[in-house]
Amino acid sequence: MTFLHSALLVFKKPLLLLQSTSAFPELADIFELFKGAILKRHSSEFYGAKTAELLKGIDKDCAEVLKSGFKEFYEVTLEYIDKWNRPEKHPANVAWALLRIEKLNTKR
């Protein structure tokens, strides 16, 4: 349970942000930040501080089985993000919406 609690905290902020916007550039940024956070946890094998502490106190083989499951959770999450966050699949007439907002300097 401690792993799920730790992992789901990574979902909280992006989900709240996704609910508060419908603009393509912001949605793309939110997905990229979320994906980056999951990738970072996956590559560093971070499962939460409390989970790491608990894993140290159990049989090594059992800990490896649990870690394998945690890795799979991250991998499935990344696959899901890649499957559903496909801006290139949006209709061509909305491609302009994927442009990032830049400040224009109107002072001359």
Question: Which DSSP string corresponds to 57-90?
Answer: TS-HHHHHHHHHHHHHHHHHHHHHHHHH--GGGS
pTM: 0.70
- Asked if residue 90 has pLDDT above 70, the reply is no
The pLDDT tens digits of the residues spanning 74-86 come to: 999 999 988 887 7
The pLDDT tens digits of the residues spanning 35-68 come to: 999 999 999 999 999 999 999 999 999 999 999 9
Q: What is the reported pLDDT for 103? A: 60
All residues at 6 or more sequence positions from 64 whose CB lies less than 8 Å from its CB, including other chains: none
User: Greatest CA separation found in the chain?
Assistant: 69
